[in-house]
Amino acid sequence: MSFRRIVFPLDVATAADARVLAARVAPAVGVLKIGLELFVAEGPSVLSLGLEHDRPVFLDLKLHDIPETVERAVASAAAHGVRYLTVHASGGPEMLKRAALRAERESGGRTTILAVTVLTSMSDEDLHATGVSDAAKEQVVRLARLAWDNGVRGFVCSPLEVETLRQALGPDAMLVVPGVRPAGAATGDQKRVATPAATIRAGADLLVIGRPIRDAADPPAAAASIAEEIASALLAAGVSAKEQA
């Protein structure tokens, strides 16, 4: 079912607002994402929205700290049943290795660490301002290889790097992609974007799509339309409807 490839961010300020939004949209998407704003405001209790709607939770905290601190945070997230958890690939080999090992040990493989490569809000010029001389695509591959070599098998990248990462890492890598916008939608603060169909054709596994669904007049219908676009792209790539289900 193609809708399961849609990750919907609950980017609101309170649990009450998140509960209303989740009730409306969860049946039309595959994963509920909880980010910094909501998690800081409400704490771990908000993670129960996944159980309430029978949807896996993607906890998007982009952890980046000393290895011991990140490892302990990963253990806590796994204990709460989080399905996906982000860390920054730029945190280094030891941090990545300990995060991946701890997630596996605490969850029995149910929690997947996703290494964030280069934020989709960053252009090449933004990256250069931080002291990285290469273009975003090269930096994404460099950081992804670092994470892969240290046991991480899930990655966050923009649509523009999906094909390159799929070729570099092979079919076992899970590629989770924000910055996805239906044709004609506003890009907002995202700088490296593409349509759902193009991103799926490039080799993405999960698409993070927020505002085009949340701000639509009919959010469930908007999600259903995106799911149909994903299904068509998968069929064109040779993935049958039976395999999609």
Catalytic residues: 62
Label each residue of 180-222 as H, E or C. ECCCCCCCCCCCCCECHHHHHHHCCCEEECCHHHHCCCCHHHH
Q: What's the residue count for the chain?
A: 245
What is the DSSP code (8-state) at residue 161? G
Q: Give per-residue burial for 155-177: e unless 16+ CB within 10 Å, then b.
A: bbbbbbbbbbbbeebeeebbbbb
**Minimal CA–CA distance to 154: which of 112, 120, 119?**
112
Name the phi and psi angles at 124, rounded to 5. Answer: -60, -40
